[in-house]
Structure 1
Amino acid sequence: MNPPVLSTLVAGAASAVFAVTGAPLPVSPAASPAPSSSAAAAPAAAPERGTGPAAAAAAPPEGAVVHSTGDGGGPADVLAYWTPERMAEATPLDLATGLTGGATDTVRGLLDSEREQQAEGADASRVREQTDGSIWPGGGRVTRTVGRVFLTIAGRDFVCSAAVVDAANRDTVITAGHCLKNGRGAWADNWTFVPGYTDGREPYGSYVARDMAVPRGWAEQADDDYDFGFAVLHRSGRRHVADRVGSHPLAFERPAGDQVYAFGYPSRRPYSGDDLVYCAGRSFRDTAGTSDYGMGCAMTSGSSGGPWFADFDPASGEGVIMSVVSFKYSDDPRTQYGPFLGPEARELHAYAARL
């Protein structure tokens, strides 16, 4: 079901946010979903189409809605669209009231210190078991498989986060449903995944989406219990994304109470969107009427769609993905929520993995 008041963690270039109804609304200081944004990257080599499209595949599950992008002249045009200037002009939207107030200067100081340590090299010993939003100090697979997503909805440019998952096509990423489709509104255009994004660099290339799949509960009801989805990507430079950076298994119907590590690219102050940021702590069940998980996390807009890991090993950067960054309640900016991945997610992933 839909929580009564929430903030979705997307950032964008326009003063609009996604409401639980799926319709764009003006930014409100104490209400609703806040979309994600920013940054810069040079165009990569034009990708090639993979095994899709959805139209040629078997019928999707009854609970799924699938969209083949058909973006203009193809992937090359999408990559050309994302000029460094256009990315740099994208700005994050506000989240809940007070999210950037009070402790902002203190947090920024801590982030500066973490960035200096990061420059000295990855060190898994600096990874914390409890943090509500720190720059990732380690290395490992997660630094390659998690990336930033650049997308356009209704003429506005936004940014989300996503991660590569195990799939037969080796081209599939998981993200939030609202990073693919504006609830009952429009599908995203120009959807581009940049794995391992750091300070505007594209160390492993850029991958343009060819197919997208979300649960019917998200596409038709904008129900936050179903705020997840999958994008299937074109190859880049003749290579599948999973062959280039690796991938992670999914964990379905995971109980609450796990030690969880959530990752993303938050863009709103005190974060810049240039760094991979993580939160860590125990998950719990939302008590406000959704089936979602919660965890302590102050990541801001731009982190939407980033993976939640259970059974995570900080040394190797590997674990199983049990949820994704979805929303926050506007009166509780230091707690983040992610959907429970149940049978609908299992069926949707199985379908997307074959496209």
Structure 2
Amino acid sequence: MAPRPARPARTARTAALAALLLAVGTACGGQDGAPTAEVAQQSPTGDRVGTLSIRTAQGPRACTASVVHSPRGNLLVTAAHCVQSRRIGLLDGLVFTPGYRNGYTPYGTWPVKAITVDPRWATEDDPEYDVAFVTVGMLDGREIEDTVGGNPLGTGQGFGLSVSVTGYPNESDEPITCAVRTSPQSPTQERFDCGGYTDGTSGSPWVTANGAVVGVIGGYQEGGDTPGTSYSVAFDQRVADLYRKATT
């Protein structure tokens, strides 16, 4: 019998995770000639990046997320496909662990309380809206931004930006980071080329030198289905509007 056509790597892994965990992952490997991500060292800014996992910090991993500045100090940004899909709806039991490393949870584990996605993602899984804002509850009477700070959201900054991208591959207990320059994939999607961004790195923030988050791994092909290339929805007015909805 002839083999069935292979599904795109990220889509296939998403289906497997959805069935096993009711969670979603991503994939992005290296390619010849592309830089490869390195293990990230802890830093005050890096500690704003963490794992989204099921129920506990050591539970099954879904994706990566990061803290963004908000009026209430309780907001994360990630990819929408990490937290919601048309087939399985909003995911339950997610927790966020900033600065996670080798089983160590220096800032605790924060429960997810609410998820905000664009209606066009919720009803159509439209890759043009593969961004989500996630509200987390208080821990020990403190908001998460009081503990680790938050990166400002950067919208309307265009392409060709130098960014640092930190994410958590599922197979590792340490984050990886790559310093790269973005380029346009389309008028509404951007990309970067760097190896090592395997399952679990969807939602990884693209952070500029001034600390602004200008993208997250997701969007086109749910973040990419070929080794060494990752994508993001361009952070433009669509994302600004979604942020406003999440914070009002």
Sort the TM-score into its range (normalised by shorter chain).
0.7 to 0.9
What corresponds to 2:104 in structure 1?
201
Is residue 29 of structure 2 the alignment partner of residue 135 of structure 1? no
Give the direction of change, closer, same or farther, for the CA distance of 1:9–1:161 in structure 2 (3 Å limit): farther
Q: TM-score, normalised by structure 1?
A: 0.59
Quote how far apart the aligned CAs of 1:11 are: 6.8
Residue 193 of structure 1 deviates from its aligned partner by: 0.4
- 1:227 corresponding residue in structure 2: 130
Structure 2 gap ranges (5+)? 1-6
CA contact (8 A) 2:113 2:136 kept: yes
Mapped to 1, the partners of 2:144 and 2:10 lie a distance apart of 27
Q: Out of 205, 208, 211, which is 2:114 matched to?
A: 211
- State the superposition RMSD in angstroms: 2.9
Is the Cα contact below 8 Å between 2:51 and 2:61 reproduced in 1?
Answer: no
Which residue does 1:162 correspond to in 2? Answer: 65
- Is 2:152–2:213's contact at 8 Å kept on the other side of the alignment? yes
Matched, 1:280 2:183: no
- 8 Å contact kept, 2:24–2:83: no
Equivalent-residue separation in structure 2 for 1:213 and 1:220 (angstroms) = 13
Structure 1: where are the runs of 5+ without partners? 19-23, 27-33, 37-92, 104-129, 313-318
Identify the match of residue 169 of structure 2 among 251, 266, 290: 266
- Given candidates 295, 300, 312, the residue that maps to 2:192 is 295
Deviations 1:103-140 (A, max 9, x none): 9xxxxxxxxxxxxxxxxxxxxxxxxxx94311114x43
Write out the 4+ residue segments of structure 1 that deviate beyond 4 Å after TM superposition. 9-12
Give the aligned partner of residue 3 of structure 2: none
Amino acid at match of 1:16: A
Change (3 A) 1:337 1:35: same
Q: Percent identity?
A: 25
Deviation at 1:17, TM superposition (A): 5.4
Deviations 1:61-107 (CA, angstroms, capped at 9, x unpaired) = xxxxxxxxxxxxxxxxxxxxxxxxxxxxxxxx8x47xx48x99xxxx
The answer to whether structure 1 residue 188 and structure 2 residue 86 are counterparts is no
Match of 1:75 in 2: none
Contact 1:10–1:160, Cα closer than 8 Å, also in 2? no
Cα pair distance change 1:227/1:328, threshold 3 Å: closer
| Structure exhibiting the larger radius of gyration computed from Cα positions | 1
1:311 and 2:206 matched: no
Residues 249 and 192 (structure 1), Cα distance of their counterparts in 2 relative to 1, 3 Å cut: same
